[in-house]
Amino acid sequence: MKSLEDILEIREINRWVRRFERSPHQRNAPHASDAELVELGGNNGQLLAVTIDTVSEEITRGIYREPFTMGWVTVMACLSDLAAVGADPLGVVVSVSVEPARGPAFCDGIARGMQAACRRSGVWILGGDTNTSLSINLTGCAAGLLPRRNRLTRIGCKSGDLVFLSGPAGAGSAIGLARLAGLPPELFPESAYRPSARIREGRLLRNYASCCMDTSDGVLATLDQLMRLNAAGFVVETDPKSILRRDVARLADFARIPPWVMLAGHHGEFELLFTVPAVKAADFQSEASRMNWAPVPIGRVAAGQGIQLKVEGRLRTIDTGSIRNLFAKYGDSPDAYVRELLKCTL
C-alpha cells in the first residue's frame, strides 16, 4: 500500500500538521483538498474555503524573471486552490515582501500582474500587507464559498471513473526546464507561462466531479497524490504528447526529452485534474461544451494503486513516488533530474 508518508514533502508537511490541533469545524482532512474547508456556522448551508500560497523559490531560482509574472502567479496560485474545491471567490489578500533595493517599477510590475490576474478571474484584491525583506516573498490568500452539499475534495474517485484535465498541461514543467537548464529564453518565453485559475470550470465540477486537484506541482505529482489519497490507480490512456500544450510538446522535441517528462516536473500550472463517474460523463460533457469548455480526457481510474502512462506507445507503470522525491535530491541539477526521471519507468 503506497502511503502519503513515502513522499518527502508530505513528511515535512506532516511535521507541521502534527504540531497543530485540528478545528472541530473543519471539513477536510490534511492533504485531502486544495483549500481548507470550514463551517460558517448557522444554517446558511455554505462552507468557507480558504487557502494561502507563497511564491519565493520560483523567483530566486530564476524561473520567473518578470515582476508581472510574479504578481500574476501569486494571485492565480491561491485562486486555483479555490477552483479545485469548486468555490466562488470572495476576494484575495496579498502580502508583498521585497528586498529594500527593489525600485517602484519592480513593484508596479508585480501589482500589474496581480491586478491582471484578478480581472481575468473576476476577483478583487481586498487588501494586504507590505514589508521589506532580505529576500522576496509574495503571498496570496484567497477566500470563497461553496454549498456544503457540493463539497469537492481530492477524495472520492472510484474504479471506472473517467479522468480529465481542464486543459492541455505541461507549461509549468516547460518553463522550469527551460530556465533551470539555461535554454534560450525565446524557446519558451515567460509570457507563455500565464496560467489561469479554472474558477468557472470548478463551479461546474462541484456538481459532477468525484475528486479534483490542481496541477500546481505537475500532472504526475497530482496523479500520485490522488492515487495515495484514494487508494486507487490511474491509467492514462491518452498519449502524453496529446495532453501537452503544443508549445510545450515542441520544447520537449527540441530538448530531446520524451513528452511524458513534461508532465513530471515539480513546477506545474493551474489546470484541474479531476474524475467523473461514468454515468455522469455525458451530462458533464454536454454542460462543459455549453460553456465552451473542452476538457481533455486522459484516462480512467483503475482498481489497485499505480500510475500507468504511455511511453513509446506502450502503457508502462511509472514510479511517481520516486519522481516526487527526485526534486529534493536533484532539484539543483536539471540534467541529473531528467536522467534520474527517465529511470522511473518500471
**Among 24-32, 152-160, 168-176, 266-274, which window interacts with its own copies (CB under 8 A)?**
24-32
CA distance 332 to 181: 10
**Among 18-26, 207-215, 224-232, 294-302, which window interacts with its own copies (CB under 8 A)?**
18-26
Please select the residue that binds its own copies; options are 103, 134, 149, 292, rule is CB under 8 A: 134
Asked whether 274 and 209 are in contact (CB, 8 A), the reply is: yes
* Closest to 190 (Cα-Cα) out of 309, 51, 63, 345: 63
Interaction between residue 126 and its own copies (CB under 8 A): yes
Q: Which three cell numbers stand for residue 194?
A: 500565464
Interaction between residue 51 and its own copies (CB under 8 A): yes
Asked whether 9 and 324 are in contact (CB, 8 A), the reply is: yes
Interaction between residue 159 and its own copies (CB under 8 A): no
Interaction between residue 119 and its own copies (CB under 8 A): yes
Q: Which three cell numbers stand for residue 77?
A: 496560485
CB of 242 to its own copies, least distance (A): 32
Please report, as a single letter, which amino acid is at residue 29. A
CA distances in angstroms from 260 to 170, 270, 276, 335, listed in the order given: 9, 18, 23, 16
Q: Whose Cβ is closer to its own copies: residue 105's or residue 279's?
A: 105
CB of 37 to its own copies, least distance (A): 8
SS3 state of residue 339? helix
Interaction between residue 21 and its own copies (CB under 8 A): yes
Asked whether 200 and 146 are in contact (CB, 8 A), the reply is: no
CA angle 301, 307, 309 (to 5 degrees): 100
**Among 52-60, 173-181, 228-236, 299-307, which window interacts with its own copies (CB under 8 A)?**
52-60
SS3 state of residue 186? helix
**Among 141-149, 199-207, 241-249, 310-318, which window interacts with its own copies (CB under 8 A)?**
141-149
Q: Whose Cβ is closer to its own copies: residue 36's or residue 161's?
A: 36
Q: Helix axis angle, 171-180 relative to 334-342, nearest 10°?
A: 130
User: Can you give the binding site for its own copies, defined by CB under 8 A?
Assistant: 12-13, 15-16, 19-23, 25-26, 30, 36, 38, 40-42, 44, 46, 48, 50-54, 56-57, 60, 90-91, 93-97, 104, 107-108, 111-112, 114-115, 118-119, 124-135, 137, 139, 141, 143, 145
